Structure 1
């Protein structure tokens, strides 16, 4: 890389690099409005006044309080927290691999969680749910614990391989582990009944509605650690955008940075996957939306925008799912696919046009 290239890249990153606080404020206000709407609208529609009264009557037995606190607020907060965590995980992955289509799916983490959940379903079919709980000590967590263990197994494998292979090779290995897990899942589910397969399918469709208040005690600590680690790594990650050689010239230990970024990604994606299922597309498209909104490539500037946009996107999809439909419920991943696929297609077409322009 010539001396002029880092200077040009630095200018590109610095262009419009000042964080537009009005955009972040607008995102925050939109998120609050979406949160209130999600608390108000469902099978039972509440007015804004009833929502506020339900919030004010915390712990009471009133209808509004029970609907808001026991049914809707845990789900809504899970969507905001989970969406923000997955969006940030996607930002870390795309920065590390310098690939606009990288996310936790690419690393194989989601597939590992799916495999662990399927393994628990099959084990329950063979030895019975009660025996499985007695043998494994899952304490009733079932599929959540299986998904967490599966995600952890893939994560440990990826961290181990990260010491010996190039970044691009690591991404390919993650994709291959994902394909292998998908094949094994199909084989495992072949040996279960339709009822047991539906247990896995209901988790695999992804939902934030499965979260209850005690779950936050397990869900939040790893997410906060992952967020802290991401903020701490923001400066070296921004340097990495200019290339590994240039980052090393600034004193960045790229090998160590790669392991820490993988660790942060695991802490952000694994708990959400375990409790909510393999939520799709949020980690893939949120970083691109954040870059377009704030006009900066600096990771420190992108982190708050990504967190808010990820939470807003997850909340919007969850809102559509829980509208008072008369016939049946929609699936979360189906809504996210409708929202996310056009963004991915646009990215691919834009990349092709850029390559053609440079040819």
Structure 2
């Protein structure tokens, strides 16, 4: 059977992305037809002023955040799987997202744990994002220093996992001693959320994601050589040490910022790169990176549409939906033993 043209698949994926975006913004406690949404956006005429507020100030920012988070986490996961040549590696293996969680935990839980405030202190969205960014940045700097000393990628993987475990232990201790209200707030944050960001925060997220993707675009040809090991990469004229730094920096910016703004979002970074490999049937990163980015955005938009529980005022945690979708994909891949063919 002749394989499908990859350009055709990318075009079809882009069309599906647009349709997923329209579906996402049309669903919710109040259903609004895509036709009305398009007419309101381009003609500036809305049937109700309340619907204009819902679409422009809540649903569209949330859908854009879903696209950005899907792109960032998927690209981060593909980079880590290539870097460690490990099919189960994801954007969180270096402990950077755990660092973001520690920053938020200190903001929300530390005051309560030490009896300084009745609950988790300032809950301003900007404060949460800044705390998460600082925590992720500190871990990124630490991992970078370790990477400078350690040349073996598997050793770096183990160190990253240990960083994550140590940070999780600190968060557990803060949780144990904190009050019920502060613990509830942190638990809700840890479930992940794509909503609640204002346009200023969305623009910041767009900027950081764009900066995080620059190293990928600049070195995309070098990623193929890393699949066969650093020795082979050197024989092709690739500088593995430089590429390693670029991978860590890119993943740190993407995964750290997304976690800071949206909370930890599970399985997107692990599952989506494998789905892209299966659909496009290639290991060429020049094709895999755009394919993975588009699929990640589509999957997170659809997961968010399900999480909104259309017709209901309730919203499920995004992590609950992504885990239900991503876990079967990873389990299925393990059972089919396709990993040995991909790496």
CA–CA distance in structure 1, aligned partners of residues 229 and 339 of structure 2: 23
Alpha-carbon displacement from aligned partner over 1:116-161 (angstroms, at most 9, x marks no partner): 111111244354499977xxxx986222211111111111111111
Query: How far has the Cα of 1:352 moved from its partner?
Result: 8.9
Alpha-carbon displacement from aligned partner over 1:30-50 (angstroms, at most 9, x marks no partner): 111111111111100112222
**CA, structure 1 residues 144+285, in 2 after alignment: closer, same or farther (shift >3 Å)?**
same
Show the 5 A alignment for 1:176-195.
176-195=162-181
Q: Which residue of 2 aligns with 1:7?
A: none
Give yes or no for contact 1:57–1:65 (8 Å, CA) kept in 2: no
Query: Which residue of 9, 14, 23 maps to 1:37?
Result: 23
After superposing the two structures, state which structure 1 stretch, 317-326 or 156-165, moved more.
317-326
Query: Which residue of 323, 331, 343 maps to 2:309?
Result: 323
**CA, structure 1 residues 205+130, in 2 after alignment: closer, same or farther (shift >3 Å)?**
closer
Q: Which residue of 2 aligns with 1:107?
A: 94
Query: Which residue of 234, 243, 258 maps to 1:248?
Result: 234
Give yes or no for contact 2:73–2:268 (8 Å, CA) kept in 1: yes
Q: Which stretches in structure 1 are left out of the alignment for 5+ residues?
A: 1-14
Q: Which residue of 1 aligns with 2:142?
A: 157
Query: How far has the Cα of 1:339 moved from its partner?
Result: 0.6
**CA, structure 1 residues 327+37, in 2 after alignment: closer, same or farther (shift >3 Å)?**
closer
CA–CA distance in structure 2, aligned partners of residues 338 and 132 of structure 1: 33
CA–CA distance in structure 1, aligned partners of residues 120 and 77 of structure 2: 38
Give yes or no for contact 1:58–1:69 (8 Å, CA) kept in 2: no
CA–CA distance in structure 2, aligned partners of residues 82 and 140 of structure 1: 17
Query: Which residue of 97, 100, 118 maps to 2:105?
Result: 118
TM-score (norm 1): 0.87
Aligned residues: 336
Q: Which residue of 2 aligns with 1:67?
A: 54
Query: SS at 1:32's partner residue?
Result: helix
**CA, structure 1 residues 118+27, in 2 after alignment: closer, same or farther (shift >3 Å)?**
same
The answer on 1:79 being equivalent to 2:77 is no
Query: SS at 2:126's partner residue?
Result: coil
Query: How far has the Cα of 1:109 moved from its partner?
Result: 1.5
Query: Which residue of 257, 260, 272 maps to 2:246?
Result: 260
Query: Which residue of 35, 53, 59 maps to 1:49?
Result: 35
TM-score (norm 2): 0.91
Alpha-carbon displacement from aligned partner over 1:295-338 (angstroms, at most 9, x marks no partner): 11111111110110010111111000112354843211111111
CA–CA distance in structure 1, aligned partners of residues 275 and 241 of structure 2: 29
Q: Which residue of 2 aligns with 1:144?
A: 129
Query: SS at 1:293's partner residue?
Result: helix
**CA, structure 1 residues 218+257, in 2 after alignment: closer, same or farther (shift >3 Å)?**
same
Q: Which residue of 1 aligns with 2:324?
A: 338
CA–CA distance in structure 1, aligned partners of residues 234 and 154 of structure 2: 18
Query: How far has the Cα of 1:54 moved from its partner?
Result: 2.6
The two structures, once aligned, show a CA RMSD in angstroms of: 2.6
